[in-house]
Each structure stands twice: as structure tokens, then as C-alpha cells.
């Protein structure tokens, strides 16, 4: 087993949201693939945001490709010269009006879909969050903030009220982290 060799690479299109690249590749066994499409995206950030009362802060918004409203953890991408921590705190504040005086806790970094995409999702836990302001949404964002008790999350997942994979994985990462830290 070995890595593939890129023979040729060209952009099919480039947008502020991501790029589509068409590569020609040579596999270690000598086989060639003339058209392998790669989606280039910036890394994504998301966070489980918990208040002192053990309430989780979620956002609900319409997702055009999914043609539905989705209940999700706050998420976004970093802006130029931002750290991941600064980016997630800004995104949470913009989408929900919530913030925290505590540093975000890194729960993990995972490739989104390494078969076709270049980006990762970086998941954080934000504790002791409180609402400090109103939302500050972009012109094309319509987001409703919803708050649930953290223990309601599994019911929401099981009842298919939460179907977005990154939200489900973020919840279980946070639940595991909190459970492990209760023991210590």
C-alpha cells in the first residue's frame, strides 16, 4: 500500500465556500485515474455549548441541500488570522448570543469525508455559557436559538429531531468527556 501520485490537477470551479478540483492520479500499482474530483473546503468548527444549568444551546435553520429544518450545535468556519478557539467563540456568539468566560475544550478533530473532501471538523465543548447579547447574523442567515436540558439530547436523537451527523457526534464526544471528568 502506498500513496497516490498526482499527475495533473485543475480547478473546475472556485467559490468563497469551497473549490472543486479535478485530479489525474497514478496509484501505487500503476493504474491511472483520469478524473478524481476533490472538494476543497476550509475546516469547520462546531461546539456543544452548555450553561451552568446543564442546558445545551442549539440552533435551528433551514438547510437548502437537505430541504429541511435542522436542529444543530452552533458551527462555522474560522476567519482570516483566527485560531480555532477564537473562531468557535465568535461563531457561537454570532449565531446564539451566548458566550463563556472559560476557554473552549477541544473534543476532537476529524476528517469530514477523506474520500472526496480536504477539510476537518474541529469539535469543542464550551462550559458555563450565558447569553450576553442578541444574535449577529449574516444577511443570508435565519437561525433560531433553542435551549434544551442536556439529558434531552438522546431522546431528540432517537426521535429523529436531530439528524445532523456532526451534532450527534459532538453530543457523544461531550457526553463522554463530561462522564470521564465526573469520575476524576
Distance CA(82)–CA(108), nearest Å, equals 18
For residues 94 and 104, give the distance between their C-alpha atoms in angstroms, rounded to a whole number. Answer: 16
% of the chain beyond a pLDDT of 90: 91
Tell which residue, 57, 54, 94, 51, has the closest CA to residue 76. 94
- How confident is the model at residue 153, as a pLDDT? 97
Across the chain, mean pLDDT equals 95
Question: In this structure, which topology does domain 44-183 adopt according to CATH?
Answer: Nucleoside Triphosphate Pyrophosphohydrolase (3.90.79)
Distances (CA, A) of 134 to 2, 50, 91, 148: 51, 17, 13, 18
What is the pTM for the complete model shown? 0.92
In this predicted model, what pLDDT tens digit does every residue of 126-149 receive, in sequence order?
999 999 999 988 888 899 999 999
Q: Residue ranges of the chain with pLDDT lower than 70?
A: 184
Amino acid at each position: 500500500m502506498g500513496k497516490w501520485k498526482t499527475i495533473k490537477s485543475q480547478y473546475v470551479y472556485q467559490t468563497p465556500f469551497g473549490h472543486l478540483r479535478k485530479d489525474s492520479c497514478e496509484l501505487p500499482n500503476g493504474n491511472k485515474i483520469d478524473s478524481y474530483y476533490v472538494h476543497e473546503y476550509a475546516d469547520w468548527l462546531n461546539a456543544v455549548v452548555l450553561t451552568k444549568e446543564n442546558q445545551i444551546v442549539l440552533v435551528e435553520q433551514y438547510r437548502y441541500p437537505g430541504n429541511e429544518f435542522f436542529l444543530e450545535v452552533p458551527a462555522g468556519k474560522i476567519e482570516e488570522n483566527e485560531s480555532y478557539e477564537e473562531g468557535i467563540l465568535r461563531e457561537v456568539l454570532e449565531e446564539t448570543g451566548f458566550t463563556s468566560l472559560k476557554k473552549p475544550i477541544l473534543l476532537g478533530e476529524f476528517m469530514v469525508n477523506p474520500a472526496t473532501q480536504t477539510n476537518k471538523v474541529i469539535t469543542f465543548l464550551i462550559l458555563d455559557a450565558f447569553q450576553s447579547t442578541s444574535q449577529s447574523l449574516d444577511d443570508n442567515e435565519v437561525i433560531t436559538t433553542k435551549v434544551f436540558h442536556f439529558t434531552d439530547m438522546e431522546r431528540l436523537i432517537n426521535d429523529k429531531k436531530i439528524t445532523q451527523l456532526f451534532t450527534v457526534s459532538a453530543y457523544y464526544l461531550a457526553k463522554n468527556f463530561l462522564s470521564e471528568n465526573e469520575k476524576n
